[in-house]
Chain A
Amino acid sequence: MTESEISQPNYLQVKKGLFSWIFTLDHKRIGLLYLYSVGAFFLVGVALGVLMRLELLNPGRDIIEAQTYNQVFTLHGVIMIFLFIIPSIPAVFGNFFLPIMLGTDDVAFPKLNLMSWWLYVVGALFALSTLVFGDGPADTGWTFYAPYSVKTGTNVSLSVLAAFILGFSSILTGLNFIVTIHRLRAPGMGFNDMPLFSWALYATSWIQLLATPIIGITLLMIVAERILGIGLFDPSIGGDPILYQHLFWIYSHPAVYIMALPAMGIVSEIIPTFAQRTIFGYKAIAYSSMAIAFVGYFVWGHHMFTSGMSGPAAYIFSILTFFVAIPTSIKVFNWLATLYKGSINIQVPLLFAVGFIFNFLIGGLTGLVNGALAADVHLHDTYFVVGHFHYVMFGGTGFAFFGALHYWYPKMWGKMYNRTVANLAFAILFIGFNMLYFPMFILGIMGMPRRYYDYLPEFHTFNQISTYGSWILVTGLLLMVYNLIKGYFSKPVSEPNPWNGITLEWQTKSPPPLHNFDKAPELVKGGPYNYPNAING
């Protein structure tokens, strides 16, 4: 064994004990810290969502009061957006796999990386503290729209401070990834030799870095308005509530791409592996990530068509919104072209990737409906928007997250879950998801407004179907979680590369050693997806 081939213990064996985890500088352990954190908050968010669906099973009050319902949907939104979806794929799989995929031993700033996780924990504690202080959690919705957020007696200040701190965590992660990608790529790896997940993280990181400070300042302005009564957003003291909406969505629309782009990166990894062939249109997919990030900055106004924004501004934002669909559809066509004539191996990660495409297409196309000015006047603030948003975020990013978990599971822990049970869990989840959210499109078109704990009798049937769907979805989720946990306690697998992947993470041991590689990894000639036996016709 040469000096460059020293066998190291894997990252799970290096040190034991709680402190070796919560103060670790190893990017893989930090990725797992994020996984356990966001996973726990995801389950809390799911529980709150199910509670809302139970309340909506029948018209009128069933189990919770109107005010409690308002607080529940706000907490559900804050937890799912700020504590789950935004950090989910970048912080978990980005942290774990970006350095390995680039052929290096860690991110550029390991201590900053650990600090990001601690900021996440502190932000989460702030969010949870709203449960026990004052008049309880905020009741404004996760958007904290002024002037109501300035006037309500609930814990808005603590909630927005939580979002502010979580924003810093996000910024530091983005900064770390940008520097890592620029400075720590393996020798010989140009930008166009990087795996597409790295490209997706690169585009995402720029949004995290540039857009998040805007929401940070805006949320502090809310606190200043509440405490000092400055008159920024409250019209009764000379403020402009539409200014708040502008500032909020300047961040929060690009934030949708913080959530979606890494998911697209995951799909771009899974599909060539399970088609065993070169990805179709590597550069088109890579550059479309940057295009989505760029164009995504200029479409925030489509959330405000009915808010009192000017007509000419609305036309411009509507047109720009349609432009975002172009790079997104470029990706979808390239994924499908990759599958065409590929040696398709149908395993559960691929099912989640294909599920992503199906759900994301519905979510994306209904987004175009909302982006059309005339249609939006009818659909704004109805259940159509709730359906659209959940198809994109849960059906898209959520499914990609689960797909990544199943794809990289043997790499992260050196174990394997029961594949039959995983397939069954996917099927239940997929059916439950569509049964839960598709009726919302119909309810929205019928005119049912969002964010009410009660509704008219004509909306009853579709609300019932939706609630039954939530039970099926939760069954699938619990089965999936049980299967993954059970897999963790199974025997180690002998095969370190069960999917025959060729990107660099599959060149190292499973689980990877502390410094990722026992010997310097070799780049695949002809690009990261140049499968040796592929039929690239």
Chain B
Amino acid sequence: MSNHNKTDHHKDDELHITSYSEHFGTWVSLILLTFMTVFISVYGADLNTLTVATALFIASVKALVVAYYFMHLKYDPRIYRVMLLVVMALFVVFLIMLIFDYLTR
């Protein structure tokens, strides 16, 4: 029985063939961001508490790149991007509330 809901599907159920240059560019950006993370953790000790925040920021950018390009989020309807944003906002709120406790002890 193929009674899927037509209104809520992947934009048009088409195959999205992305170019080699896009894949390659994504891969290179991930490698560069990884190097940046390692560099900051090894040599960026003078960032103090910002070291963690910077590492988290870079990791978030990497996750976004993977989701958008490798996982084809950019082809999906806007609702899925909104879902991802809500989830990331939730994570940020967790961190803020956690850090708030530490700063006010």
**A interface list, Cβ under 8 A from B:** 103-105, 182-187, 189-190, 210, 214, 242, 246, 250, 297-298, 301, 308-313, 316, 515-517, 520
Contact = CB atoms under 8 A, between A and B. Distances in A.
Contacts of B3: 103-105, 184, 186-187, 520
A103 B9 CA distance: 17
Which 4 A-B pairs give the minimum distances between C-beta atoms?
A310-B104, A313-B101, A310-B105, A185-B5
A397 B3 CA distance: 33
Interface in B1-33: 1, 3-9
Nearest to B105: A310
Interface string B48-61: 00000000000000
Interface residues of B, number: 19
Contacts of B87: 210
Interface in B63-105: 87, 90, 93-94, 97-98, 100-102, 104-105
B90 A186 contact: no
B1 A104 contact: yes
19 contacts: A103-B3, A105-B3, A183-B4, A183-B5, A184-B3, A184-B4, A184-B5, A187-B3, A187-B6, A246-B98, A246-B101, A250-B94, A297-B94, A301-B101, A309-B101, A310-B100, A310-B101, A312-B104, A520-B1
B43 to A, nearest CB: 23
Nearest to B5: A185
A297 B7 CA distance: 30
Interface of B: 1, 3-9, 87, 90, 93-94, 97-98, 100-102, 104-105
Given A301-B101, A313-B100, A210 B1 contact: no
Contacts of B90: 210, 297
Contacts of B6: 187
Nearest to A313: B101
Contacts of A182: 5, 8
A312 B100 contact: yes
Nearest to A519: B1
Contacts of B102: 310
A481 to B, nearest CB: 35
Nearest to A304: B101
Contacts of A242: 101
A515 B2 CA distance: 11
B1 A298 contact: no
B83 to A, nearest CB: 9
A36 B9 CA distance: 35
A313 B1 contact: no
Nearest to A103: B3
A185 B8 contact: yes
